[in-house]
Amino acid sequence: MQRRVTGIGGVFFKSSNPDSLRAWYVKHLGLPLDESGYVVFSGTEKEPSGAASHTVWNPFAADTDYFAPSKAPFMINFRVADLDGLLKLLKKEGVKVDPKRDDSEFGKFGWIMDPEGNKIELWEPPLPRKPKAKKKPARKKGK
């Protein structure tokens, strides 16, 4: 059987003051924030793009609805190799699959609910971008 999950893509949780909490983690644990305010841990596995895999850590505002309909104060993001195929399979298996999808430069995203009502984000990293073909110079007539 093909692996369904290839790793953890991120750990997200609610906070009453995300900026203050990020600062605490930076000061006391040395977590390195990127320009977006996320902490990105690089892994040893390779993404389909050839880039090193990574795991994101990020607190969200306490009033975020991004985890809805889950009442849990957290959401785990799992990296997957074939989002569409996995979601079809999970639906056949009776898993509650959110019909919403997101496809962006960051990859493909889909969501499911576990039996306890926790929202789980599934993420298929983007494939490598194909280099643009160079135009051949026009040939002059008679040559």
Contact 120, 76 (CB under 8 A): yes
CATH tag, 5-124: 3.10.180.10
| Amino acid 116: pLDDT | 85
Q: Distances in Å between the alpha carbon of 42 and those of 30, 120, 142?
A: 15, 21, 57
For the segment 102-134, what is each residue's pLDDT rounded down to a tens digit?
999 989 999 999 988 989 999 999 876 665 555
Residues 6 or more apart whose Cβ sits within 8 Å of residue 62: 14, 15, 16, 73
The structure's pTM equals: 0.74
- What's the whole-number mean pLDDT along residues 65-73? 94
For the segment 16-56, what is each residue's pLDDT rounded down to a tens digit?
999 999 888 888 878 888 888 888 887 766 666 666 678 89
Contact 67, 75 (CB under 8 A): yes
Dist CA 82 CA 1 (whole Å)? 13
Per-domain boundaries in the chain: 5-124
For the segment 82-92, what is each residue's pLDDT rounded down to a tens digit?
999 999 989 99
